[in-house]
Amino acid sequence: MLPFRKDPFIVVRRSKLFIPVNREKFVAKAWTRGADCLILDLEDSIPPAEKSSARRMVKDVIPLVKRGGAEIEVRINRDHEEEDLEAVVGPEVASLMIPKCESAEELRRLDRMVAQLEKERGVPEGGTDFSLIIETARGVVRMEEIVAASPRIVQASIGGVDLTVDMGFTRARDLLAEQFSYPAAKLLFAVRAAGAQAAGLWPQNNVDFTDTTLSQEFMLQACRRSFQMGYSGSSTIHPAWVRPLNEGFKPSPSELDWARRVKVALEEAYSRGLGSVAVDGRMVDVANVKQVQKILERAEAVARREADKEAALAAAGGNA
């Protein structure tokens, strides 16, 4: 593991909101949305004829959208990757979203290109991380090597729409769990083994971020189920889902209460020379200490992310 590999439990990108850089009304409000991360999109939301002009807009857009303390990620075009990287790599861009990932070699090549740009522009080595989208059958088959290809890789997700097309799935919301359970589960184990995060929603029938008729509570529970399965956050194109993402992809109050009580109980047990103790009628031991520590570390990282955003908003004189 190279020294700039980021700890997957510390990186907090529960909510990642797509912002088309060429849509002024979306850019103007982006900083007020409360997202942990804003994705400046150069890919699917930009018509082909506007790709070049959108690319030139990124540097001017960044100071406007980051006023609320969100991290900045840019989704590049794979067929214009050199031009996109040349335009966006710099100290203000924390992450690059790489779509259509199908091999480890292409990511190592992108890593080398970004490393050279970082060196030229005074960005610390590894200061630009990668978020991957795997959205073809070939990508799913090669998933383990893809997500381990570079220490820059912090997150990876499944691109549901393109994978649906590639696999010949019928687009049916009541089949989402059946259609995507295999790649979603494979992703979870592959990224953990590589030291990264799984992003996206755990497949659940009739759960779709494009459906704005769903209630906030419904989406909150969908996000919590995803977090319980090991996912760390998700992207969305609609700002309505930022709050459910932020609340759902963090330890719940009951989880935190349990973790704190287990920690205290085990510390007291160890002080008496005992290796285990009962909490809520269940025995806990050293294995639970590791689990508890991860829960508390994640909660502390989330609290820091929230504090950073609140400070940025206060400095900007606005409220999200």
**DSSP structure string for 215-226:** -HHHHHHHHHHH
**What is the phi/psi pair of residue 186, to 5°?**
-60, -40
**CB neighbour list of residue 277: distance below 8 Å, 6 or more residues apart:** 265, 266, 268, 269, 283, 284
* pLDDT score of 287: 85
* pLDDT score of 119: 97
Q: Is 287 exposed, middle or buried (0-12, 13-18, 19+ CB in 10 A)?
A: exposed
**CB neighbour list of residue 317: distance below 8 Å, 6 or more residues apart:** none
| Cα-to-chain-centroid distance, residue 2 | 21
Query: How many DSSP H helices and E strands does the chain contain?
Result: 12, 10
85 and 117 in contact (C-beta within 8 Å)? Answer: yes
* pLDDT score of 9: 73
* pLDDT score of 48: 94
300 and 10 in contact (C-beta within 8 Å)? Answer: no
Kindly give the confidence (pLDDT) of every residue in the chain, 320 residues in length, as a single tens digit, with 9 standing for 90 and above.
455 667 777 899 999 999 999 999 999 999 999 999 999 999 999 999 999 999 999 999 999 999 999 999 999 999 999 999 999 999 999 999 999 999 999 999 999 999 999 999 999 999 999 999 999 999 999 999 999 999 999 999 999 999 999 999 998 889 999 999 999 999 999 999 999 999 999 999 999 888 888 999 999 999 999 999 999 999 999 999 999 999 999 999 999 999 999 999 999 999 999 888 999 999 999 888 889 999 999 999 999 999 999 999 999 986 54
* pLDDT score of 302: 97
**What pTM value is reported for the model?**
0.94
Q: For residue 84, give the H/E element and its range.
A: helix 81-88
Q: How many CA atoms lie within 13 A of 198 on its CB side?
A: 24
CA distance 9 to 294: 8
Tokens of 311: 């400070």
* pLDDT score of 1: 41
* pLDDT score of 106: 98
